[in-house]
A = this chain, B = another copy of it.
Amino acid sequence: MAKVISESIEKFYHHYPRVAVVVTAQAGGRDNAMAAAWHVPLSFSPPLYGVAISPKRFTYQLIVDSKQFGINFLPFEAAELIASVGGSQGQEIDKFQRFNIARDKLVKTAVPILKAAYAAYECRLVDDRDYGDHRLLVGEIEVVHWLKEAFTPEGILDLAKVSPALYLGNELYLTASRDSVRRLDREVYGKR
C-alpha cells in the first residue's frame, strides 16, 4: 500500500499511544498538577527523565522556580483524573482541592506525589532546554515511589495487576492489551 507523503507538517500524532502522566510541581506555597504525554527517559546513570512542557504553563513556572518536579504514572482507572488536571488551569484553581487528589508522603522534594500513582519519580531539575514551542525539562530522579505488587520481580509492570493509562490523542484514553504480551529475546532474533 503506497503511503501519503506530507511535507507541510502541523500537528502530528503518529507517535501515539503514549503513557499519560501527571507532572506535579510546587513553589511559593502553590501546588499544581498537569497532564503530559511528551515524556522520556534519557539516562540510567545518572537516572535522568525528561518532559516537554510549554513555557506558557503554570507548572513550567513552578518547576523553574523550585528546580523540582514529580512524574506520576497512573492506572487507566484514573484516566478521568488525568483529563481533569489536563483541562483546568492551576493559576485559577487549586486542582488538588478541586479534584480531591490524595497525596503520598514526600521523601526528598516538595513536589506532590499522587496516592493513585502506581509509580512516581521525585526529580531535581538539571536542564531546561528550548525546543520550538516547548521546553524540555530534565530531572535527575532522586526517589522512586512504587507499588511493589504492580511490578514483577524484574521490575517490569505486571499487567495482571495494573492497567496503565495511555493517551492516543484527541481526548482518547486507552490501556495496554495484557493478552497480547509476547517475549521476543533480541539475542535470539538478532542472530537469525
Contact = CB atoms under 8 A, between A and B. Distances in A.
Contacts of A69: none
Is the contact region of chain A dominated by helix, strand, or loop, or is it mixed?
Answer: mixed
- The quantity of this chain's copies bound in the complex is 2
A55 B64 CA distance: 29
Nearest to A177: B177
A141 B9 contact: yes
A150 to B, nearest CB: 9
Contacts of A58: none
Contact of A17 (B50, B176, B182, B188): B176
A147 B3 contact: yes
A174 B177 contact: yes
B52 A131 contact: no
B86 A143 contact: no
A46 B148 contact: no
Given A4-B146, A83-B186, 11 more contacts: A3-B145, A6-B146, A11-B155, A15-B41, A15-B71, A43-B132, A45-B133, A83-B189, A157-B168, A172-B182, A174-B178
